[in-house]
Structure 1
Amino acid sequence: MNNSQQLRASAGRRRHMAAMVATTALALVAVLVIAGCSANSSPASTGSAEAGATPSGSSPLKTINPAALQAAVDAAAKEMMIPGAVVEVRTPQGDFTAAVGTTELGAEVPPGGDTHFRIASITKTMTAAVIVLQAQEGKLRFSDPISKYVPDVPNGENITIAELLRMRSGLYGYTNDPEFAATLDADPAKVWTPQEVLAIAFRHPPEFPPGTDYDYSNTNYALLGLVAEKVDGKPLAQAFQDRLYGPLGIKQSVLPASTDTSIPDPYSHGYMYGGSAFALVDTPYPPDMESAAKAGTLQPIDYTNQNSSYATGAGGAISTADDLATWIRALVDGQVFNADFQRQWLEGPQPTNPAEPKAPYYGYGIERQSFAPDVTMYYHFGELPGFNSFSGYDPVNKVTIVLWSNLTVSPDSRPTANALLLEVVNQVYTLPS
């Protein structure tokens, strides 16, 4: 399977709340040949190439053309019927932003780098970082069983913190439960506690014995959020602020209170066709829905104020593209942990599919994929009803890519962040097919 095929395969892989976590390789090459401009486009490409910063002939980096980047984002958004999207690319050449469309259907409010949105499973990078910092301070150990911190977890005495961090606990993912999605749609303002979502998970048998396999399960990070709170003796939101946002000067990010369904200004509305299940599990739209959406006879549902308390440490945070670009680089470049724990964090990811050599690795709240000998990116996707996003950093080439869309899944069932990423990386890298 070549890189282009791998990325297209990844678009159909299992989707969980707030994340597109790999069962096949995410690849950074090839572009969808799409022409035209977005009807809702408000071109906002900016960028400047520094003198002498043009990549050498051996570099995988292209010289970025801001107009071409904007055109690629415009075309992808038009094809997928995305109301609005933002792409930020930061490289040694400079910083580039491509924005398209509107933050609200029926209005002309262009999004930007300071527009707030629900980042979904990118939150996991933050929850994991708190846990790693607690381990760095000797307040917990990765080898500790979850039973030490949270009672009544099935087989909890044999499930370690490390296995939760790496998605290897075997615990059933509560967002896979059909009744859970039905409850979200019937009562979108419902206030959830971690104990309630864990009870849903624990009603189901485990997927496999701890440590024997990989399965992306939001249950793992619901538990880790509780661990973080118990160890620090404060709400997870405060731990994020004290340990992460404050020290790094991140000012536009927040984990909202369970009763707060609002998003700080300026913000984007978030849309999706159909019920919550289409974002929580890998269920494609039926043909009649796809046709109606493309024809305009079916309008997307506004999920902006769905209560995200069901996500918490697994995917409840709100941020901006500007903040996420700062965060992901700081995390990967060693500004969060000391040298010893940075090494452990970087080496933490394990294969998601040992049978597939090119499959990505998942570790302590991060996914890692090498696309060429000199191109390795650490990243996370985020997906929940209303939004789809990606945040990644390539430490060798000093490339940051952050993007988000306010449409979760396109009418033809493509996760929009995945498809946008395919367009963006073709503007950034030249990679082997």
Structure 2
Amino acid sequence: MSHTSARLLRKAAVAVAVGTLMAPVAAGPAWASPAAVPAALGADAPSPSPSGAAVRDLTPGVTRQLDTAVRKVMHEAGVPGVTVGIWTPGRPSYVRSFGVADKSTGRKMTPDLYMRIGSETKTFTVTALLQLVDQKKVGLDDPIGKYIGGIPNENRITLRQLADMRSGLFNYSEDPDFDKALTSDPQRPFTPEQLLAYSVKHPVRFQPGEKFSYSNTNLILLGLVVEKESGQHLGDYITQHVLDPAGMKHTLFPTGNEFPAPHAHGYTVQTANGEEADATDWNPSWGWAAGAMISDLRDLHTWARTVATGRFPDGGRMVSAAVQKQRLITPGTGMIKGAGYGLGIFDVLGWIGHNGSLPGYQTLTVYLPETRTSLVVLLNTDTDYRSREPSTALGEAITKIISPAHVYNLPVTRTG
């Protein structure tokens, strides 16, 4: 597989896993994280907050450390623009934008911009599936062959194994023909069936349940299950049953390359010639249920707690307590110490959520239940930094300062 294909796949993948975890593809992915950034920046060294809580109070001194840390990663990684949000109930918040949203005009990055969120889409697709589980329309331990045919091991791979990345199915975004098709015409549309075709021509990598392997193919199948059993297009279902009840008016599932204004331009080197390109208008349909969605800082702040707790902001249940409990069982991936992956969600040293990456954009949306702290990071490049994702480098640098006992660090093993 070409380097470009490997990188695409990684991104789409999610963040956690590896090999995905943040791996891969268009869909959402987020792949490797950047190298760690020293936390002791500025005059004040990280230390517990006066209350002894897991997250430090955002005093002026800590805020200065955060500003310095973000700028340091941006400079070293060549990131054009970044927005960061940190919120803990009852404490001061931190919302900052740095750099530019458009390199050609110099327009500044601001907190109100729409961004492509890549593999964070997986959290919405799996939420839709879990709602159907609650409605008894599907069962987590049903074989995928009950709903979709023509899949290797279709009578053995369960919906649960698709959602927790333990199916063994080949990741379509690693296929050389897919890589060629995408990089030769980044604005071409893909159907879910076309994406699956790139996967099913390959043998399975292992038998269902044997181990963890991040694969965007899994989410394409789950998206089709949601459509079949709900009778709605996936984007329509997610809008009606997840986004609207959550009050997330700035999040959408595009059908093509549409992109609401104002948005940041995204920059990538995932091109046929390896040169940097503006990927803002590239068609994200190749990620579909695994990584096509768009959101902004405000909505991802809402989503961080909503997906981690299973409750909408008004207190109503998004999924039942029993199903949410199953979702948050996050077995280790065997690749990353202190990290596990559950049903479309990860836990990295206490931070629960997902990351996303696709050409031009990376995101990180996580929640620390111990202090009810939400962290959202948005940036407009997906170019690797020291063989890791810049979103991970930023997450690591930030959490070294605010939560030294819970440092977000997601090294990823490349699979290509």
| Runs of 5+ unmatched residues, structure 2 | 1-6, 22-31, 43-47, 312-317, 408-416
Distance 1:248 1:422, change over 3 A: same
Cα deviation code 1:162-197 (max 9, x no counterpart): 000110110000011122122111111111000001
**1:363-378, aligned counterparts within 5 Å?**
363-370=342-349, 376-378=350-352
1:22 and 1:359 in contact (8 A); partners too: no
In the other structure, the counterpart of 2:370 is 396
Aligned equivalents of 2:253 and 2:222: distance in 1?
15
Structure 1 residue 275 corresponds to structure 2 residue 271:
yes
1:16 and 1:216 in contact (8 A); partners too: no
Pick from 103, 108, 111: which aligns with 2:109?
111
Q: CA deviation at 1:274?
A: 4.3
In the other structure, the counterpart of 1:90 is 87
Q: CA deviation at 1:424?
A: 1.0
| Runs of 5+ unmatched residues, structure 1 | 1-11, 37-53, 278-288, 290-298, 371-375
- Report the 3-state secondary structure (helix = DSSP H, G, I; strand = E; otherwise coil) of the residue aligned with 2:12: coil
Structure 1 residue 340 corresponds to structure 2 residue 315:
no
1:15 and 1:21 in contact (8 A); partners too: no
Cα deviation code 1:88-127 (max 9, x no counterpart): 1112322211211111112222223321111000000000
In the other structure, the counterpart of 1:265 is 261
Aligned equivalents of 1:30 and 1:317: distance in 2?
28
In the other structure, the counterpart of 2:389 is 415
In the other structure, the counterpart of 1:320 is 296
**1:102-251, aligned counterparts within 5 Å?**
102-251=100-249
Aligned equivalents of 2:272 and 2:332: distance in 1?
29
Pick from 46, 52, 56: which aligns with 1:58?
52
Aligned equivalents of 1:66 and 1:359: distance in 2?
27
Aligned equivalents of 2:108 and 2:390: distance in 1?
18
Aligned equivalents of 2:307 and 2:235: distance in 1?
18
Q: CA deviation at 1:86?
A: 0.8
Instruction: Detail structure 1 runs of 4+ shifted over 6 Å in the superposition.
Output: 24-27, 33-36
Aligned equivalents of 2:390 and 2:379: distance in 1?
7
Structure 1 residue 72 corresponds to structure 2 residue 69:
yes
- TM norm structure 1: 0.81
For structure 1, which segment, 96-105 or 408-417, has the greater mean C-alpha deviation from structure 2 after superposition?
408-417
**1:351-362, aligned counterparts within 5 Å?**
351-353=332-334, 358-362=337-341
In the other structure, the counterpart of 1:8 is none
In the other structure, the counterpart of 1:253 is 251
Distance 1:419 1:30, change over 3 A: closer
Aligned equivalents of 1:76 and 1:204: distance in 2?
39
In the other structure, the counterpart of 2:414 is none
Q: Which amino acid aligns with 2:10?
A: R
In the other structure, the counterpart of 1:385 is 359
Q: Which amino acid aligns with 1:97?
A: V
Aligned equivalents of 2:406 and 2:308: distance in 1?
25
Which is bigger in relative contact order (C-alpha 8 A, separation at least 6)? 2
For structure 1, which segment, 79-88 or 421-430, has the greater mean C-alpha deviation from structure 2 after superposition?
421-430
- Report the 3-state secondary structure (helix = DSSP H, G, I; strand = E; otherwise coil) of the residue aligned with 2:322: helix
Q: How many residues align?
A: 374
Q: CA deviation at 1:57?
A: 4.7
- Report the 3-state secondary structure (helix = DSSP H, G, I; strand = E; otherwise coil) of the residue aligned with 1:224: helix
1:69 and 1:98 in contact (8 A); partners too: no
Q: CA deviation at 1:275?
A: 2.1
Q: CA deviation at 1:15?
A: 2.5
Aligned equivalents of 1:272 and 1:76: distance in 2?
17
In the other structure, the counterpart of 1:329 is 305
Q: Which amino acid aligns with 1:379?
A: G
Cα deviation code 1:73-93 (max 9, x no counterpart): 122111211111111111232
Q: CA deviation at 1:332?
A: 1.2
Cα deviation code 1:8-28 (max 9, x no counterpart): xxxx9x92425332349999x
Aligned equivalents of 1:189 and 1:270: distance in 2?
14
- Report the 3-state secondary structure (helix = DSSP H, G, I; strand = E; otherwise coil) of the residue aligned with 1:102: strand
Cα deviation code 1:307-355 (max 9, x no counterpart): 11111110110111211110121121231212222222222x22211x8
Q: Which amino acid aligns with 1:342?
A: Q
Aligned equivalents of 1:337 and 1:330: distance in 2?
10
Aligned equivalents of 2:379 and 2:202: distance in 1?
33
Q: In angstroms, what is the RMSD of aligned CA positions?
A: 2.7
2:268 and 2:277 in contact (8 A); partners too: yes
Aligned equivalents of 2:260 and 2:104: distance in 1?
20
Pick from 388, 397, 406: which aligns with 2:380?
406
Q: CA deviation at 1:227?
A: 0.5
- Report the 3-state secondary structure (helix = DSSP H, G, I; strand = E; otherwise coil) of the residue aligned with 1:404: strand
Q: CA deviation at 1:428?
A: 1.0
1:332 and 1:378 in contact (8 A); partners too: yes
1:16 and 1:176 in contact (8 A); partners too: no
